[in-house]
Amino acid sequence: MPVNESNSPPLTPLAVPTALIASPSSSPRTPFFSLLPTLAESPDDEKPWATKHRRRRSLVVGALSPITIRSSAGNADDVLLPRHSPGAPNTQMKPDQVYFPGQPKSLEGIAIRSFCLGITLALSAAAITSILFLTASPLWRLPFFIGALSAFHFLEFWTTAKYNTSVARIDSFLLTANWPAYAIAHMAASFECLLTKLLFPRRAWAPFYSGHILLLLGFILVVVGQAARSLAMAQAGPSFNHTIQRKKKDDHDLVTTGVYSFLRHPAYFGFFYWGIGTQLVLGNPICFVGYVIVLWRFFTSRVKSEESDLVRFFGDDYTDYKKRVGTGIPFIR
């Protein structure tokens, strides 16, 4: 039988003890309704277990929470990725993490390369000595070239680490610079020397019996070129960099003293004549011509590109310096 709700007596709320009803001003940690008696507790009271629990919870939430990554294009929508996903950057990288294995300044990578270059230089010296004292073969020139390469690449890193420490990294060895053209050039030079010395050991390639003169000239160019380049890097300090700088840094100064007082680009001058000198020592007529052409074209383009930025950095000071001092490389003014 349906009940007429209009005639039903009004419902009376249950009486709840006032002690069980929390006042609006109660602590946020106290439930509004509790079957347990409310404990008087000041807001500053902190329980050790609660502190540890909140700290542990904040660490977990912080580690698992997604992070926002913006596309390198700059106009893409933000993407949420899990913090430890392969595509997410490590936002908690330690200051010394750049020195860990696999990083640009990895100490492990630097140690391995230095060790290998040192061993190569030592083996080259031993091979030169053995061939000169035990045989009459001109093949000693090839280990000389390999030893000169090892010394060059080690000194590239060493001078950078000593005089421009903040930018020293694995790339400062220049072992993979201008890859693969750089490696192909040195492999071609080594192959030409090996082939000619094995097939034509008594053949004199120098005109007018000037072989000994050209050999001595090659030694001088290698030593002078290496010294000029290393000295230029040392005197320039933080103002020298292996890559062209498109923006002027605070510590970038116009160096016009020392070796820079008579050579405008002494590091380029050094490598140009170092490369030519190695081919004279090797006795490579083909690679000698090839090195001259390739190096001249490379430094012509590089000097032009770099000096456009230097004029923008230093204005009339560099323009006047350019008029006073030459490069020392033929036809590059």
Residue 310 or residue 96, greater confidence? 310
| pLDDT over threshold 80, residue 12 | no
Share of the chain above pLDDT 70, in %: 72
Q: What is the pLDDT of residues 58-102, one digit of tens each?
A: 554 454 444 444 444 444 444 444 444 444 555 566 778 999 999
pLDDT value, residue 54: 56
* Per-residue CA distances from 172 to 180, 197, 290, 331 (Å): 17, 34, 26, 29
The DSSP secondary-structure symbol of 12 reads P
- pLDDT tier at 48, thresholds 50, 70, 90: low
pLDDT, average across residues 160-170:
96
Question: Degrees (nearest 5) of the Cα angle 267, 154, 160?
Answer: 55
In angstroms, the CA 218 to CA 278 distance is 6
- pLDDT tier at 51, thresholds 50, 70, 90: low
Query: What is the chain's mean pLDDT, rounded?
Result: 82
pLDDT value, residue 203: 74
* Per-residue CA distances from 66 to 77, 88, 295 (Å): 15, 9, 51
Distance of CA 7 to the CA centre of its chain: 89
Amino acid code (one letter) for 90: N
Hey, which CATH number is domain 102-324, 3.90.1640.10, 1.20.120.1630, 2.40.50.140, 3.40.50.11810?
1.20.120.1630
Q: What is the pLDDT of residues 193-249, one digit of tens each?
A: 999 988 887 777 777 778 899 999 999 999 999 999 999 999 999 999 999 999 999
pLDDT value, residue 90: 52
In angstroms, the CA 83 to CA 321 distance is 52
pLDDT, average across residues 25-54:
46
Q: What is the pLDDT of residues 125-135, one digit of tens each?
A: 999 999 999 99
| pLDDT over threshold 70, residue 26 | no
Quick check: 115 and 93 in contact, CB under 8 A? no
10 Å Cβ neighbour count for 38? 15
